[in-house]
Amino acid sequence: MTIDVPQHILDAMTDVDMPRLRSETPPSGTMVHGGLQVPVYRSGCVVVGSGAAGLRAAVELRRRGNEVGIVSQSAWGGTSACSGSDKQTLHTANSADQGDNYKAMARAIRAGGAMDEDTAYVEAVGSSRMMASLQFLGLPLPQDALGGTLRYKTDHDEVGRATSCGPRTSRLMVKVLAEEAIRLDVPFYNHTTAAKILTCGEGMDRHVAGILTLRPNDRTTTNPFGLALFECSVLVLAAGGPGELYRDSVYPNGCFGSLGLALEAGIELVNLTESQFGIGTRREGFPWNLSGTYVQATPHVYSIDAKGNEHHFLAQYYRSTQEMASNLFRKGYQWPFHATRMLDFGSSLVDLAIYRESAVGRRVFMDFNRNPLPTPGDLPFSLERLDDDVSSYLGNAGAGQYLPIERLKHMNPLAIELYRRYKIDITKEPLEFAVNNQHMNGGIMVDVWGRSSLAGCYAIGEAAGTHGVTRPGGAALNAGQVFGTRAAEHIAASGKAKVAPKVDVARAAQAGIAALFTIMRPDSSLTIKSARSTIQARMSDAAGMICDGERVSQALAEARSLNVSIRANGIGYKRPAEAVRSIQWRQMALASEAVLTALDHYIGQGGGSRGSRAICDREGESLPLARTGPLEDYRFRRERDAQRSEQIIVRLDGVEMVVSTRPNRSFDESAGSFFERDWPDWLTGRIFDLGSD
């Protein structure tokens, strides 16, 4: 039986219209610097980013009576609104149909190591509240007839705690939160790019004073770059991850994040060694992760060389048709590349094979109108010859149809409809894809309230480095909602965002503007285009899912040299409207050096393969095997267990990246709460630890 979903339902789940923004609130004043007339906006708190995490923080702040505004490079243009996979997820905190088990969920979230135990528990215990509040706002999470939330298994999740409302889950989250923010009259400043964080004070007293931005709406003859000053006491960085860092990326175009912005302000970053890589369609067309039912439908995967010849390359890696098809299926819930899954003919051998095809210039496709071709000397593909876990899943799903496209239509018609919206009909033509960078697990180091190392600055969503080495699929969406709420609660308790600040930031603003003009240099020989291609190629080629110590060290030296050049000569642009890209690529150059610094340190300390990176080493203990023999070029180091209990911190001190480590914060699972004892801490606000602000 094939699921028959009416077209109007498919349309509603794939074409998610976003609300219209209201007119912008005008500036409250003007400052003059070197002949520039710079508008000044004032707010108790400024949230940088209009994705799901940033909107959650703004909504929760406004509900608590705080003054908050949102600045966004492109409203509804970020990762949570535009990117995703077959089924983006939000954790439900249910455990194998046995009710909520927050401690078990916390252990699953932090299982990969290099993650604070208290943070994992915060994300777990907050997940039910986040899900319920999103449902209250109108997020259509699926239920059974008795009101239970429908759940399934996802990446790094052996229990099945995830749920989904289709491929547009995160966009629907953005939609309902945006509608609530607009209803609460939260000011939006669209097409506004954060350029420099301003601070006042020295040493331990240094704190946020505002942020300089570049805005087309503020361009005038006396301000051709659209510089604008946002004065605030509190800043929430929620601008997502560094999507432009890699050439091979599934991020939407223009996702720069805020890591470089934070580094320039002296904020500490953590876990920059940890990213995710996996199969997906590239952003040159329609960027999307190919997890879930796309691969569980078991399409035929092949490559095309420059002469147009087709290559059935997966057959070189697996010993039987059954083994090959079963591991392709497993990419559905083992989507990210993981070094250990290259061993024993596991599912990440699929990623490695695709990576190698792309490296020699071949284009890779999946064809939903063909079943996998057999491996040499073996029987043809058959649904009757699959590994037990695969047969069981397809059987339970009723996916016994003959062709992959029929199985996909049965299990998830939205998967077909989504690509059709972008002029790609996978019912008729093969789908081109590759292994891409997808998610930064590291980021700005924060505590359990989202506070960074700079007083008054918080980080949430993918900007925050809370995820450790691995994370269950969808945990990032949940973390952004939990910490958006937590940060808002803490800011509200401090009282610092009730009204706009009344401090003189003119000196800091003037110094910040001067610093921006050292980067925006129209006469520089280093252009925006060359900076982009240099940074992205270096990161993809030397710091992707396959890397080694020698290449990383060389790449780090080149990244340092690039930043020396930028400090001396800036980045060129052709017209003032392009100058904002000079600033953004300066920030990406810093982020690139920081990632390579952390990775070089990790490898230099004997760090092994973990998460979504294989550290190749001729002396490595682990050797992937293919049907054709050992893959010696991909021999890799094993992870060292001791490094799971610590995190690598990177900070920009002047012009040098400084590296240190710290142990993971612990969480005592045996320590329970007691109502009468602990209620006073809530009533008096002692839970917020405001004395350390």
Q: What are phi and psi of 535, to 5 degrees?
A: -65, -50
The two tokens of residue 413 are: 């018609």
363 part of a folded domain: yes
433 part of a folded domain: yes
Query: Contact, 461 vs 150, CB < 8 A?
Result: no
With CA atoms as reference, report the closest residue to 58 among 481, 689, 444, 499.
Answer: 481
The whole-angstrom separation of Cα 231 and Cα 67 is 12
Terminal C-alpha separation, the chain? 60
342 part of a folded domain: yes
Share of the chain above pLDDT 90, in %: 79
Residues 52-70 pLDDT 10s: 999 999 999 999 999 999 9
What mean pLDDT comes out for the span 681-692?
Answer: 89
Q: What are phi and psi of 616, to 5 degrees?
A: -75, 140
DSSP helix/strand/coil, 443: strand
What mean pLDDT comes out for the span 446-457?
Answer: 98
The whole-angstrom separation of Cα 483 and Cα 459 is 8
411 part of a folded domain: yes
**pLDDT score of 646 more than 80:** yes
**pLDDT score of 289 more than 60:** yes
What mean pLDDT comes out for the span 534-547?
Answer: 97
Predicted confidence at residue 3, as pLDDT, reads 55
Q: What are phi and psi of 410, to 5 degrees?
A: -70, -45
Q: Max alpha carbon distance in the chain (Å)?
A: 78
**pLDDT score of 566 more than 80:** yes
The two tokens of residue 281 are: 């369609």
Residues 341-363 pLDDT 10s: 999 999 999 999 999 999 999 99
Q: Number of structural domains, the chain?
A: 1
The whole-angstrom separation of Cα 452 and Cα 50 is 20
Sign of CA dihedral 670, 686, 237, 537: negative
The whole-angstrom separation of Cα 480 and Cα 57 is 9
What mean pLDDT comes out for the span 622-633?
Answer: 97
DSSP 19: P
**pLDDT score of 87 more than 80:** no
Q: Please give the mean pLDDT across all residues of the chain.
A: 92
Residues 653-678 pLDDT 10s: 999 999 999 999 999 988 888 899 99
Query: Contact, 308 vs 458, CB < 8 A?
Result: no
With CA atoms as reference, report the closest residue to 365 among 294, 278, 293, 432.
Answer: 432
135 part of a folded domain: no
Domain carrying residue 386: 278-437
290 part of a folded domain: yes
Mention every residue, 6+ apart, whose C-beta is less than 8 A from residue 223: 36, 37, 38, 39
DSSP 527: B
What b/e string do you get for 239-266 counting C-beta neighbours within 10 Å, with b at 16 or more? bbbbbbbbbbbbbbebbbbbbbbbbbbe
**pLDDT score of 96 more than 70:** no
Which of the four pLDDT bands, split at 50, 70 and 90, describes residue 251?
A: confident
Query: Contact, 238 vs 53, CB < 8 A?
Result: yes
353 part of a folded domain: yes
634 part of a folded domain: no
**pLDDT score of 86 more than 50:** no
Q: pTM of the prediction?
A: 0.94
What mean pLDDT comes out for the span 613-637?
Answer: 97
